[in-house]
């Protein structure tokens, strides 16, 4: 920023906390020059600078704090933030086992409002703020430059090519933030990725969220290790991730996947065909399916329950906990004595302790005794800043269901 450039607009706070979200109630005064999407200097009530962030007065999060230094959020800043995010993924050596990973994890990478996934030669940008929407084209160019040409594990010998790009946002986020993503014009509706040797077809432009759940990568591999010659039930299976890992990596004897989303099940069947394995898929509500299997006295050696996000606001936390309680109570009853039960929650507003308590309560109701053997979260490409614990959204609880005495 040149010396003769006008000073950036400011936002003065009435209270300060060590968190990247600045809500309306925390703000004392806003510079009348500030426009939606602007970079603003954030000041405490004594006019001391505490950082810079992106401003949106119509959002629930009025300022997303991106830096705690008094520095310009210019092109050099964005380039360095993206480079730092990519350096972590290289440190983790994720590309040795997959060509699908999260390159930018919003607050976890100090880029609040932006998520970027990589699927083979496709970059998917999921936006949560107006400020990031306004800058996404530049981010795409910077990432393409920093990454170099794409290489796919599915076609390692192919010549270099340009990255395909998809930009997405949830409709509710668009309404709250005041922007609208145009439909993708590039041919990125379908791509095949590899993960630990398993092939998955991903639909980045139309699938749920960004089309695939990279966060469960390590959990899928760990689950597979328990499934040798097992009968496996994958509840809320989406495109078949856990079940396919159990079948292809783990050598499961039989796998059944259940989901209410017909399009997801079509993709799951495509994925089974890609890997030349047989998986049974059932189009059903998980609650009803569990009740029917209990009535049929059907049991499984390993059951994984990974429902979609059940709490999207604080008002939904208690209803979500009741759903977790009821669904877990049914699912764990389908596990054979001494079998494995893996249950997950991706609701960031539901704490680890609250989720564990819901599962414990469900076990008492079901008359089951659970032996906890592990508790995991998202893969390492979903880092968590300690001053933003909400970004540790994924909880995976691993249990052995003890025999009745």
Residues 242 and 172 in one domain: no
Domain with residue 315: its CATH number is 3.40.50.150
What is the predicted pLDDT for the residue at 206? 82
pTM value is 0.92
- Is it the case that residue 2 has pLDDT exceeding 60? no
pLDDT of residue 155: 56
Tell which of 131, 159, 177 closes a domain. 177
In this structure, the answer to whether residues 56 and 165 fall within a common structural domain is no
Considering the domain architecture, whether residues 290 and 319 belong to the same structural domain is answered as yes
Domain boundary, last residue among 40, 67, 94: 67
Instruction: Clarify whether residues 51 and 87 are in a common domain.
Output: no
Residue 295 resides in a domain: yes
Residues 271-323: tens digit of each pLDDT? 999 999 999 999 999 999 999 999 999 999 999 999 999 988 889 999 999 99
Q: Which residues make beta-bridge pairs with 166? A: 124
Do both 262 and 392 map to the same domain? yes
In this predicted structure, what is the pLDDT of residue 1?
41
Q: Looking at 280-394, which runs of residues are DSSP E strands?
A: 280-283, 300-305, 335-345, 370-376
Is residue 184 predicted with pLDDT exceeding 70?
Answer: no
- In the predicted model, what is the mean pLDDT of residues 233-257? 97
Residue 15 lies in a domain: yes
Is 80 in the same domain as 131? yes
Q: Following DSSP, what letter does each residue of 128-155 receive, concatenated?
A: -SHHHHHHHHHHHHHHHHHH-S---SSS
Q: How many structural domains compose the chain?
A: 3
Tell me, yes or no, whether 256 lies in a domain: yes
Query: Any catalytic annotation for residue 290?
Result: no
Structural domain range at position 396: 213-401
Q: What pLDDT is recorded for position 138?
A: 97
Cα–Cα distance measured from residue 310 to residue 316, given in angstroms and rounded to the nearest whole number? 8
Mark whether 329 and 355 lie in a shared domain: yes
Query: In the chain, how long is the greatest CA-to-CA distance?
Result: 80
Name the residue with higher pLDDT: 180 or 189: 180
Q: Is residue 197 part of a domain?
A: no
* Whether 261 and 389 share a structural domain: yes
The 3-state DSSP class for residue 271 equals helix
Residues 224, 242: Cα–Cα separation, whole Å: 8
Question: What confidence score (pLDDT) does residue 107 get?
Answer: 96
Average pLDDT for residues 208-223, to the nearest whole number?
Answer: 92
**Are residues 260 and 221 part of one domain?**
yes
Residue 217 dihedral angles phi and psi, to the nearest 5°: -55, -55
- Give the gyration radius of the chain's Cα atoms: 23
Mean pLDDT of 349-375: 96
Backbone angles phi, psi at 43, to 5 degrees: -120, 150
CA quadruple 372, 311, 392, 206: dihedral positive or negative?
positive
Residue 132 and residue 113 share a domain: yes
Task: Exactly one of 214, 236, 237, 346 is catalytic; name it.
Answer: 346
Distance CA 394, CA 350 (A): 10
Judging by DSSP bridges, how do beta strands 27-30 and 198-202 pair with one another?
A: unpaired
For residue 177, the SS3 value is helix
Structure confidence at residue 71 (pLDDT): 86
Tell which of 177, 193, 223 closes a domain: 177
Cα 179 to Cα 191: distance, rounded to the nearest angstrom:
27
Rounded CA separation 23/29 (Å): 12
Question: What does DSSP assign to residue 222?
Answer: H
Instruction: Provide the pLDDT for residue 13.
Output: 94
CA 271, CA 375: separation in Å to the nearest integer?
Answer: 28
Residue 128, domain CATH? 3.30.750.80
In terms of DSSP bridges, do strands 61-67 and 49-55 run parallel, antiparallel, or are they unpaired?
antiparallel
83 and 52 in a single domain? The answer is: no
With residue 23 as reference, give the H or E element that holds it: strand 21-23
In whole angstroms, give the CA distance from residue 346 to residue 306. Answer: 8
Residue range 339-364: mean pLDDT, rounded: 96
In a domain, 193, yes or no: no
């Amino acid at each position: 920023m040149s010396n003769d450039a006008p000073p950036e607009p400011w936002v003065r706070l009435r209270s300060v906390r060590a968190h990247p979200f600045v809500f309306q109630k925390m703000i004392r005064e806003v510079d009348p020059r500030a426009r939606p999407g602007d970079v603003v200097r954030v000041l405490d009530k004594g006019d001391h600078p505490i950082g810079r962030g992106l401003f949106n007065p119509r959002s629930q999060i009025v300022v997303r704090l991106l830096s705690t230094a008094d520095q310009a959020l210019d092109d050099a800043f964005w380039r360095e933030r993206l480079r730092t995010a990519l350096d972590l993924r290289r440190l983790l050596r994720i590309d040795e086992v997959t060509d699908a990973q999260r390159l930018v994890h919003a607050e976890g990478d100090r880029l609040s409002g932006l998520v970027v996934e990589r699927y083979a030669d496709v970059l998917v940008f999921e936006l949560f703020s107006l400020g990031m929407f306004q800058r996404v084209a530049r981010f795409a160019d910077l990432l393409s430059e920093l990454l170099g040409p794409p290489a796919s594990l599915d076609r390692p010998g192919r010549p270099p090519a340009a990255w395909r790009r998809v930009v997405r946002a949830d409709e509710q986020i668009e309404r709250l933030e005041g922007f609208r993503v145009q439909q993708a014009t590039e041919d990125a509706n379908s791509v095949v990725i590899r993960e630990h040797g398993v092939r998955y077809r991903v639909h980045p432009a139309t699938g749920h969220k960004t089309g695939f759940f990279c966060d469960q990568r390590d959990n899928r591999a760990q689950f597979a290790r328990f499934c040798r010659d097992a009968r496996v039930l994958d509840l809320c299976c989406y495109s078949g991730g856990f079940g396919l890992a159990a079948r292809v990596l783990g050598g499961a004897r039989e796998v059944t996947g259940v989901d209410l989303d017909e399009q997801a099940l079509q993709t799951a069947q495509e994925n089974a065909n890609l890997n030349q394995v047989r998986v049974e898929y059932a189009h059903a509500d998980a609650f009803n399916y569990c009740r029917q299997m209990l009535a049929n006295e059907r049991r499984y050696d390993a059951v994984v329950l990974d429902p979609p996000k059940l709490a999207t606001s604080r008002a939904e936390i208690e209803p979500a906990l009741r759903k977790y309680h009821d669904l877990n109570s049914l699912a764990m009853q389908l596990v054979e004595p001494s079998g494995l039960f893996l249950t997950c929650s991706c609701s960031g507003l539901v704490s680890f302790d609250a989720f564990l308590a819901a599962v414990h309560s469900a076990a008492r109701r079901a008359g089951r005794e659970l032996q906890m053997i592990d508790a995991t979260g998202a893969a390492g490409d979903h880092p968590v800043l300690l001053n933003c614990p909400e970004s540790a959204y994924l909880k995976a609880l691993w249990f052995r269901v003890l025999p009745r005495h």
